[in-house]
Chain A
């Protein structure tokens, strides 16, 4: 079966750095996405990785290792507004998006 694992909840301090991991086992791979979702709102796109390596976009970076079936989202200089759920999703061989359950990130002052 297809499976995406990410931690259920993480806590970090304002101004710090946090890394949210995602491991996946899917039938085929056409890229991995990270989305941010604030409570009661729709997800918003953060990043897309299809090749191995690190993609940096401002305070957010996303890393992919296809051989390990592993990705992480790195958030730097955390702000209170970063408190949200972060969803990892993989595009499989049929171009279907397989979603992780999301990681709820709690930022403390």
Chain B
């Protein structure tokens, strides 16, 4: 199947700093990528849909000025958590659809996830 790579896997930062997480589709082009957040023992929560070459679409309740998304190419989307605080500590996961190769309309390929801890 298609491969999505996410970096970094782990990040620890001080409160007030910004953290950038990268999501790359390694063997396919992804015009759309999705960013999720998952708190312990909870399901995935869609934060935003990242569209190549245009602004991201944020879900209700997600601050777009705090969670900056850039999808500058067909293989790379970045999520920047600005002025991070301890309550932002979570597991952030990106995913993408390979529309060309996948027979399914919606099979998602997930990155490995990035665990953010804000001290």
Contacts and interface: CB of A to CB of B under 8 A. Distances in A.
Interface stretch (A16-24, A63-71, A76-84, A94-102): A94-102
Contact of A100 (B43, B93, B106, B111): B43
Contacts of B108: 33, 45, 97
B112 A42 contact: yes
User: Counting chain A CB atoms within 10 Å of each CB, which of B46, B95, B107 scores highest?
Assistant: B107
A109 to B, nearest CB: 24
Q: Please name the 6 residue pairs, one residue from A and one from B, whose CB atoms are nearest each other, closest first.
A: A42-B110, A101-B43, A91-B106, A42-B113, A102-B43, A48-B104
Contacts of A40: 91, 113, 115
Given A31-B105, A91-B106, A99 B43 contact: yes
A41 to B, nearest CB: 7
Nearest to A100: B43
24 contacts: A30-B106, A31-B104, A31-B106, A33-B106, A33-B108, A41-B112, A42-B95, A42-B111, A42-B112, A42-B113, A43-B44, A43-B110, A45-B1, A45-B108, A45-B109, A48-B106, A48-B107, A91-B106, A96-B46, A97-B46, A97-B108, A99-B43, A101-B43, A102-B43
Interface of A: 30-31, 33, 40-45, 48, 87, 91, 95-97, 99-102, 104
Interface of B: 1, 6, 41-46, 91, 93, 95, 104-113, 115
Majority SS at the chain A contact face: loop
A87 to B, nearest CB: 6
Given A42-B93, A42-B111, A42-B112, A99 B44 contact: yes
Given A30-B106, A31-B104, A99-B45, 5 more contacts: A43-B93, A43-B110, A45-B107, A95-B106, A102-B43
Given A101-B42, A102-B43, A95 B1 contact: no
A101 B45 CA distance: 9
B110 A91 contact: no
